[in-house]
């Protein structure tokens, strides 16, 4: 039926790293693929990256393409999920910063939510932009020059931003026509357009409640964490040993040693 697949032929990059908020990747990607889009999960490493539900480990997703192997020219639009860890890793990557800069320079659609705007801020793209984010990083985007609005979805030119999982329904509803090029360019509000919304007086009650009732880590989780720490420590000791060996070898005189 006509109009059932508005994203047919559109290639979407989902830029994500370990620690992405699972619902913020899984739900939009499912909606994009159902609308006909060809979606690639692009990441900093190969294999499968681990999602989280708040701070609890969640399921993994397969990485389709390495960031080092793709070009922004390969894609029509970009989605950046949030989470506490994922955008913090991405913002430290020069390749990720350059990737989003290229998208913005070409005025291609960029959609992000929750903590995802951290990457846009670190790429130096936020001054003068109207946007939203997870309320806890409101000050970060304001200090980076953006106009922060406490709204479920904010459309500013080629950007679509949302606050987080609590706004998933309106975000996905706006995302499909936005990536299809069907959304009109939004205009700033007539009154006080350059003023950011004030800081929140308290964190979201829903999150506080969820954190309160989350179970304690299982013995299996603790054992896996301990094993990972031991593995990291062992690898570091081996690397330190190799460096010391190279330093000793470099300090030794070249050629045979002759005795009088």
Residue 229 structural domain: 216-246
Q: Residue 18 above 70 pLDDT?
A: yes
User: Do both 131 and 238 map to the same domain?
Assistant: no
Tell me: pLDDT of 220 over 80.
no
Whole-number Å distance between alpha carbons of 99 and 91: 11
Say which of 48, 115, 155, 259 is annotated catalytic: 115
Q: Are residues 65 and 191 in the same domain?
A: yes
For 21-48, the pLDDT digits (tens) are: 999 999 999 999 999 999 999 999 999 9
What's the chain's length in residues?
260
Give the per-residue pLDDT at 194: 75
Same domain, 161 and 94: yes
Together in a domain, 209 and 227 = no
In a domain, 5, yes or no: no
For residue 71, the model assigns a pLDDT of 97
Tell whether 76 and 148 lie within a shared domain.
yes
- Which of residues 245 and 125 earns the better pLDDT score? 125
48 given a catalytic annotation:
no
C-alpha span between 115 and 129 (Å, rounded): 16
Is 1 part of any domain? no
- For residue 122, pLDDT over 60 is answered with yes
Cα–Cα separations (whole angstroms), residue 158 to 49, 161, 181, 198, 233: 28, 10, 10, 25, 45
* pLDDT band per the 50, 70, 90 thresholds, residue 4: confident
Q: What is the pLDDT of residue 230?
A: 81
pTM to 2 decimal places: 0.78
**Is the pLDDT reported for residue 57 higher than 90?**
no
């Amino acid at each position: 039926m006509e109009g059932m697949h508005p994203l047919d032929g559109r290639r979407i990059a989902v830029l994500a790293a370990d620690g992405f908020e699972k619902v913020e990747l899984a739900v939009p990607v499912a909606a994009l693929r159902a609308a006909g889009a060809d979606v690639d999960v692009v990441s900093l490493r190969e294999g499968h990256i681990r999602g989280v539900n708040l701070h609890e480990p969640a399921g993994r997703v397969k990485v389709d393409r390495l960031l080092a192997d793709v070009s922004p020219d390969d894609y029509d639009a970009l989605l950046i999920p949030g989470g506490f860890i994922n955008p913090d890793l991405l913002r430290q990557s020069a390749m990720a910063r350059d990737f989003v800069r290229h998208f913005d320079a070409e005025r291609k659609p960029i959609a992000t939510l929750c903590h995802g705007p951290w990457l846009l801020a670190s790429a130096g793209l936020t001054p003068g932009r109207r946007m939203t984010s997870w309320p806890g990083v409101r000050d970060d985007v304001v200090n980076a020059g953006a106009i922060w609005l406490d709204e479920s979805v904010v459309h500013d030119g080629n950007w679509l931003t949302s606050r987080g999982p609590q706004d998933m329904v309106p975000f996905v509803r706006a995302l499909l026509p936005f990536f299809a090029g069907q959304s009109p360019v939004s205009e700033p509000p007539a009154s006080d357009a350059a003023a950011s919304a004030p800081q929140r007086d308290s964190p979201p009650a829903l999150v506080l409640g969820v954190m309160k009732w989350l179970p304690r880590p299982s013995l299996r989780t603790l054992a896996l964490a301990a094993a990972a720490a031991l593995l990291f420590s062992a690898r570091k000791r081996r690397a330190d040993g190799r460096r010391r060996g190279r330093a000793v070898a470099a300090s030794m005189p070249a050629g045979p040693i002759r005795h009088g």
